[in-house]
């Protein structure tokens, strides 16, 4: 009939039947457990790679809520990430508060900031949101140097290693894999829920044609603000997990622009707006970048950035729905062909 | 069918700069009617349409919808109260399928996905798009896009639907089936106001026609009355050969 | 007299910003294209200046014409090869593509030049200062302000008086109508992108004697550029120039009254305020 009959909206029939639901989430949990197992048996490098993949997948998925599903290109998600990392770390190192509580506080703070930055910008054309979020992120980066009394400035804050569940600190890599993987599953569940319910439809409408959406009764400002809040909050949570894994944070690794750009790249390459798109992007790009960093980190420290840039240009121009979009197109062609064959 | 006025204006007036686009218009429509609004371009019918839809507000006069004064109400208020409208230049949500498009409309009145899907499916059936649910709307022809626009408006469960030159650009075959479709929509209980250029189409579908020239109503009656009205012929239609069935 | 000195310094800073933001506003107004790689083009201009100075001992200001042409060619090449495919695609795609391009350019710079801050080194000329009463004015900064004023003025004249300039403004106002009038819109796009890149190059040449260069200098400059364009009004060359001066002064005053580390944060805050109060900027209307 036609070349592309794939909706840009990810309905994710995850919620069509309870059985299917159980199957998919059971699989997800199973995958995380397998990854955890692998990271326990393999070298440190593989384990580290798995954990970083899960962490960056979670951040990109959180970004995707506002950047893909709502269609608002945030360039400031390093800000939310850093808020989460610094909040839980400061509460933990200065007041002994459990990082789990710090995680919650960070999420609330991140959500609040996500909401606030949207209020002046969402009613304007999209580029303003990108610029404003970039300004937000860069501001937080510079403020972290300025208020070094609290944030440790350039020297950063080391986190004491006292392994226990209460401290969200673990001695084995596989435990971190479960932590990061579990968080990723939660983020994905939220994305799927949004996508399959009223908010997802309204955001898709706003993304496609904001004025037409308004005419059909969609309050686009409200929808975008909800998305921005959830996205900011969930992104902050990833920061806490990162901090508790690396056990050291400082402005560049917690608030650097590259963090935000990576979230964008992973989502675009994997499939922007699709629930599992950013995760796919992370699965493809993070191992590659980790391997490059390991082998060329000294001599060519930004080689992986070069690859990010080149891949994102190619995907944005040639395959705008990302790898997941390509996979879906192929699979729908295959199913059409087999349907046609059955009818012959 | 009980005659009950659901939407009316009294002395509605709208000026743009020095031009009086809508001049002291009294208008009413009963539940179940199909009222066509005719008039030459620039005659004020679009402005009148936008007044009814809440897109603009009158400088003087009142507008009443379902016994409620809605003179100052805006378009999203009107949508919530039960008045839906289509646009002259159709705007499908291009990346979404037909079903998804219409479900967005349904969500104006419900929260549940299942309910939205049901509402959308019956609206899609009513406009004759059954079977096209999973087609991405950018793949539709103009005629089908116009039906989609109607379905989306219907999904907001309106009492009354305002159609803004919805039939322009359709070829004769499409036109006939479109008129049939609007008839079934009306039979289903939706009151229609049809603003149009295409006199023959309006004459076919309307139970009553209002003709607006230079901001004022010059005729208001059944299609055959209006078509034979000397004022209308002089001002607007010229020599007429319209057969009213 | 501290404040006066600070304001003067701010104006001079604005001169630097002007060259970059005029390029941004021109491309935005004419091609309707959001170029998030503009900062990296500035960076390339700076590195080119550095290479020509350290490698061939040619003074930056003498190298200016060559670098300008080179950057124009680069802009044309990038548009023709990569960017033109996203011109009609909406701002979202343009930002993603140009961000990607920026990443490529940044990382290439890092691979070639390394990540360190590099400057032209000491030299009597680069450090020389004029004194007027109590006010000290850096010579290179003064020259930069003069150059950007000249460039602004020249551009406005070209846009206003020449036939080509009128074609550009017509394209900016209504691409469809311009095409119908026989204007070769695609060529206008190509040339405008080239000019935008050339302006970034000039900015780089002028900036190299003043600030050190490093691969990621683009990001912050880009944001300032767009903030200025927002303040000045999208597409307005005059607005960009005036906006640059205003932002320069704000940044200088913020550094003086609060903290030099906070000066850019204050500018960002100012940006949010603009968005709340008058997002369309101070100059309305068409290009120039």
What are phi and psi for residue A270, nearest 5 degrees? -75, -35
Taking the C-alpha atoms of residue C285 and residue C153, their distance in angstroms, rounded to an integer, is 18
In this prediction, residue B244 has a pLDDT band, given cuts at 50, 70 and 90, of very low
Order of strands, edge to edge, in the sheet holding B216-221?
B83-85, B160-164, B191-195, B34-38, B208-213, B216-221
Choose the mutation target among A128, A144, A277 for the interface with C, i.e. most C CBs under 10 Å.
A128
Tokens standing for residue A130? 């990108």
- Asked if the structure places residue C21 within a domain, the reply is yes
C210 belongs to a structural domain: yes
Partner A contacted by C279 (CB < 8 A)? yes
C195 found inside a domain: yes
Interface of A with C in 58-77 (CB under 8 A): 71, 73, 75
Q: What is the CATH number of the domain that holds C222?
A: 1.10.3470
Distances (CA, A) of A331 to A314, A334, A335, B131: 22, 5, 6, 21
Residue in A with minimal Cα distance to B156: A216
Q: Does A199 touch chain B (CB under 8 A)?
A: no
Contact C272/A73, CB-based, under 8 Å?
Answer: no
Measured between CB atoms, which of C86, C261, C271 is closest to A142? C261
Compute the nearest-CA separation of A3 from chain C (Å).
19
Least confident residue range of A32-36, A318-322, B80-84, C42-46: A32-36
To the nearest whole angstrom, how far is the Cα of A180 from the nearest Cα of chain C?
A: 28
Size of chain A in residues = 344
- List % helix, strand, coil for chain B (3-state, nearest 5): 35, 25, 35
Residue A193 touches partner B, C-beta closer than 8 Å: no
The conformation of residue B97, written as its DSSP 8-state character, comes to: B
pLDDT at B241: 47
> Which chains border B (3 or more CB–CB pairs < 8 Å)?
A
B169-183 pLDDT per residue, tens:
888 888 888 888 889
Of A21 and C97, which is predicted with more confidence? C97
Beta strands in C19-63 (DSSP E): none
Please state the φ and ψ torsions of residue C13, each to the nearest 5 degrees: -60, -40
Q: What is the pLDDT of residues B113-160, one digit of tens each?
A: 899 999 999 999 988 899 998 898 989 988 899 999 999 999 999 999
The pLDDT value given to residue C1: 55
Q: Is residue C288 part of a domain?
A: no
User: Does position A82 have pLDDT exceeding 80, yes or no?
Assistant: yes
Chain A residues in contact with B103 by the CB 8 A cut-off are 201
Residue A300, pLDDT score: 75
Rg of chain A's alpha carbons, rounded to an integer? 20
Of the residues A193, A216, A329, A336, the best mutation for testing chain B's interface (the one with the most B CB atoms within 10 Å of its CB) is: A216
Contact list, A127 vs chain C (CB under 8 Å): 34, 91, 95, 226
C72: its two tokens: 């124009």
Is A319 in the C-facing interface, judged by CB distances under 8 Å? Answer: no
Asked if pLDDT for residue A4 goes beyond 60, the answer is no
Which chains form contacts with chain A, at 3 or more CB pairs under 8 Å? B, C
Tokens of B94: 């291009």
Cα(B116)–Cα(B135) distance, rounded to whole angstroms? 18
Name the residue of chain A whose CA is nearest to C28's CA: A127
pLDDT at residue A14 is higher than 50: no
pLDDT above 90 coverage of chain A, percent: 60
Give residue B3's pLDDT: 60
Helix (H) or strand (E) holding A248: strand A248-249
Distance from CA of A131 to the nearest CA of C (A): 7
For residue A61, the model assigns a pLDDT of: 97
> Does the distance separating the beta carbons of A7 and B100 come in below 8 Å?
yes
Which residues of chain C carry a pLDDT beneath 70? 1, 124, 284-288
Q: Does the pLDDT at position A12 exceed 70? A: no
Give yes or no for B242 touching A (CB within 8 A): no
pLDDT of residue C11: 92
**How would you class B221 by CB atoms within 10 Å of its CB: exposed for 0-12, middle for 13-18, buried for 19 or more?**
middle
Residue C284 domain flag: no
Buried-state track B15-29, b at ≥16 Cβ within 10 A, e below 16: eeeeebbbbebebeb
Q: Which residues pair with B7 in a beta bridge?
A: B29, B65
Q: Half-sphere exposure (CA, 13 Å, Cβ side) for B35?
A: 25
Question: What mean pLDDT value characterizes chain A?
Answer: 88
Residue for token pair 């044609």: A209
Q: Check residue A125 and give its pLDDT.
A: 83
Calpha distance A107→A128 (Å, rounded): 24
C286 located within any domain: no
Whole-angstrom CA distances from C143 to A235, C47, C152 are 46, 20, 14
Name the nearest CA neighbour of C197 among C14, C4, C18, C40: C40
Q: What is the pLDDT of residue A19?
A: 67
CA distance A243 to A258: 17
ipTM surpassing 0.85:
yes
A198·B105 Cβ contact <8 A: no
Structural domain contains residue C285: no
Name the band, by pLDDT with cuts 50, 70 and 90, for residue B245: very low
Cβ contacts of C51 within 8 Å, gap of 6 or more: none
Residues 6 or more apart in contact with residue B152 via CB below 8 angstroms: A216, B101, B102, B104, B105, B123
Q: Give B239's pLDDT tier (boundaries 50, 70, 90).
A: very low
- pTM over cut 0.80: yes
CA angle at C79 for the pair C74 and C80, rounded to the nearest 5°: 100
Cβ distance C230 to A128 less than 8 Å, yes or no, reads yes
Chain-chain contact of A7 with B105 (C-beta, under 8 angstroms): no
Positions of E strands within C93-242: 129-132, 135-138
**Side-chain half-sphere exposure of C56, counting CA atoms within 13 A:** 10
Q: Does residue B55 sit at the A interface (CB-CB below 8 Å)?
A: no
> Is the Cβ pair A5, B116 closer than 8 Å?
no
pLDDT in tens, A200-220: 999 999 998 887 887 787 888
Give residues 168 to 207 of C whose Cβ lies within 8 Å of A: none
Q: Which of A310, A332, A38, A2 is nearest to A177 (CA)?
A: A38
Rounded Cα gap, residues B78 and B84, in angstroms: 7
Chain A residue numbers touching C100 (CB-CB < 8 A) = 265, 308-313, 316
Chains B and C touch (3+ CB pairs under 8 A): no
Position of tokens 């250029």?
Answer: B197
d(CA C237, CA C229): 9
> Touching check for A219 and chain B: CB below 8 Å?
yes
Would you call A311 helix, strand, or coil by DSSP?
helix
Range of the domain at C273: 2-277
* pLDDT over 60 (residue B4): yes
In a domain, residue C283? The reply is no
Domain count, chain C: 1
Strand partners, B195: B37, B164
* Residue at token pair 């308004």: A214
Other Cβ atoms closer than 10 A to A230:
25
Establish if B156 touches chain A: CB-CB under 8 angstroms. yes
Q: Does C276 touch chain A (CB under 8 A)?
A: yes
Q: Is the pLDDT of residue A269 over 90?
A: yes
Find which of C40, C90, C100, C268 to mutate to test the A interface (most A CBs within 10 Å of its CB).
Answer: C100
Residue B1 has pLDDT above 50, yes or no: no
Q: Which residue of A has its CA nearest to B102?
A: A216
Which residues lie below 8 Å from residue A136, measured CB to CB, with a gap of 6+?
A: A76, A79, A113, A117, C268
Interface contact A219-B76, CB threshold 8 A: yes
Residue A59 contacts residue A263 (beta carbons within 8 Å): yes
Q: How does pLDDT run across A135-171, given as a tens digit for each residue?
A: 999 999 999 998 888 888 888 999 989 888 888 888 8
Q: Which of C267, C275, C263, C242 is nearest to C22 (CA)?
A: C242
């Amino acid at each position: 009939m036609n070349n592309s009959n794939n909706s840009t909206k990810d309905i994710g029939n995850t919620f069509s039947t309870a059985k299917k639901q159980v199957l998919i989430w059971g699989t997800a949990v199973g995958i995380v457990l397998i990854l955890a197992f692998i990271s326990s048996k393999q070298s440190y490098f593989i384990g580290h790679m798995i954990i970083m993949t899960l962490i960056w997948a979670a951040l990109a998925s959180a970004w995707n809520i506002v950047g893909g599903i709502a269609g608002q290109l945030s360039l400031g998600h390093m800000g939310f990430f850093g808020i989460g990392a610094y909040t839980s770390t400061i509460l933990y190192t200065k007041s002994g508060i459990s990082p789990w509580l710090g995680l919650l506080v960070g999420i609330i703070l991140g959500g609040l900031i996500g909401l606030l930055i949207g209020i002046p910008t969402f009613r304007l054309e999209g580029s303003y949101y990108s610029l404003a979020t970039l300004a937000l992120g860069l501001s937080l980066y510079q403020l972290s140097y300025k208020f070094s009394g609290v944030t440790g400035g350039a020297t950063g804050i080391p986190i004491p290693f006292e392994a226990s569940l209460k401290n969200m600190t673990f001695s084995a890599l596989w435990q971190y894999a479960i932590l990061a993987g579990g968080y990723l599953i939660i983020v994905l569940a939220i994305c799927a829920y949004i996508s399959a319910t009223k908010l997802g439809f309204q955001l898709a409408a706003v993304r496609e044609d904001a004025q037409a959406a308004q005419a059909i009764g969609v309050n686009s400002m409200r929808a975008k603000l909800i998305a921005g809040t959830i996205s900011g909050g969930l992104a902050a949570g990833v920061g806490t997990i990162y901090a508790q894994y690396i056990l050291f944070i400082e402005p560049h690794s917690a608030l650097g622009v590259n963090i935000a750009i990576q979230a964008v790249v992973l989502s675009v390459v994997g499939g922007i707006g699709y629930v599992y798109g950013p995760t796919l992007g992370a699965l493809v790009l993070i191992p590659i970048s980790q391997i490059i960093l390991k082998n060329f980190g000294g001599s060519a420290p930004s080689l992986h950035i070069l690859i990010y840039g080149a891949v994102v240009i190619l995907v944005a121009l040639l395959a705008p729905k990302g790898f997941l979009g390509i996979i879906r197109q192929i699979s729908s062609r295959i199913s059409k062909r087999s349907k046609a064959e059955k009818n012959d | 069918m009980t005659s009950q006025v659901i939407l009316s204006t009294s002395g509605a007036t709208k000026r743009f700069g020095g031009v009086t686009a809508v001049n002291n218009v009294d208008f009413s429509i009963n539940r179940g009617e199909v009222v066509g609004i005719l008039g030459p371009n620039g005659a004020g019918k679009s402005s009148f349409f936008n007044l009814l839809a809440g897109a603009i507000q009158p400088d003087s006069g009142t507008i009443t919808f379902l016994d409620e004064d809605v003179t100052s109400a805006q378009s999203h208020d009107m949508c919530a109260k039960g008045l839906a409208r289509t646009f002259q230049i159709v705007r499908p949500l291009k990346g979404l399928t037909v079903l998804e498009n219409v479900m967005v409309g349904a969500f104006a009145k419900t929260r549940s996905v299942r309910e939205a899907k049901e509402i959308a499916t019956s609206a899609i059936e009513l406009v004759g798009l059954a079977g096209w649910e999973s087609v991405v709307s950018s793949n539709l022809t103009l005629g089908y896009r116009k039906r989609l626009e109607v379905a989306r408006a219907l999904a907001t469960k309106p009492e009354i639907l305002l159609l803004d030159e919805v039939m322009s650009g359709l070829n004769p075959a499409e036109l006939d089936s479109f008129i049939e479709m609007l008839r079934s929509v009306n039979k289903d209980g939706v009151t229609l106001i049809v603003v149009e250029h295409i006199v023959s189409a309006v004459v076919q579908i309307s139970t009553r026609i209002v003709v607006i020239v230079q901001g004022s109503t010059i005729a208001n009656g059944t299609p055959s009355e209006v078509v034979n009205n000397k004022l209308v012929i002089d001002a607007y239609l010229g020599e007429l050969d319209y057969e009213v069935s | 007299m501290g404040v006066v000195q600070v304001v003067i310094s701010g104006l001079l800073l604005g001169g630097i910003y002007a060259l970059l933001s005029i390029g941004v506003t021109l491309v935005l107004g004419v091609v309707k294209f959001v170029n998030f790689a503009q900062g990296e083009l500035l960076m390339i201009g700076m590195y080119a200046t550095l290479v020509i100075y350290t490698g061939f001992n040619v003074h930056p200001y003498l190298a200016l014409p060559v670098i300008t042409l080179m950057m124009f060619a680069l802009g044309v090449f990038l548009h023709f090869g990569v960017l033109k495919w996203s011109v009609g695609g909406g701002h979202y795609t343009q930002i993603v593509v140009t961000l990607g391009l920026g990443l490529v350019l940044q990382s290439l710079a890092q691979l070639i030049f390394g990540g360190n801050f590099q400057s032209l080194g000491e030299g009597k000329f680069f450090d020389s200062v004029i004194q007027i009463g109590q006010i000290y004015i850096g010579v290179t900064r003064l020259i930069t302000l003069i150059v950007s004023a000249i460039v602004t003025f020249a551009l406005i004249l070209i846009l206003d008086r020449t036939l080509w300039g009128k074609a550009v403004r017509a394209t900016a106002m209504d691409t469809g109508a311009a095409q119908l009038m026989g204007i070769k819109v695609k060529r206008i796009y190509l040339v405008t992108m080239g000019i935008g890149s050339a302006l970034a190059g000039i900015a780089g040449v002028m900036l190299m004697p003043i600030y050190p260069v490093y691969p990621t200098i683009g990001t912050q400059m880009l944001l300032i550029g767009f903030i200025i364009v927002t303040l000045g009004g999208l597409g307005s060359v005059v607005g960009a120039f005036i906006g640059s001066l205003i932002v320069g002064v704000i940044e200088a005053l913020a550094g003086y009254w609060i903290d030099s580390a906070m000066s850019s944060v204050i500018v960002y805050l100012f940006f949010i305020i603009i968005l709340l109060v008058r997002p369309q900027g101070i100059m309305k209307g068409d290009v120039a």
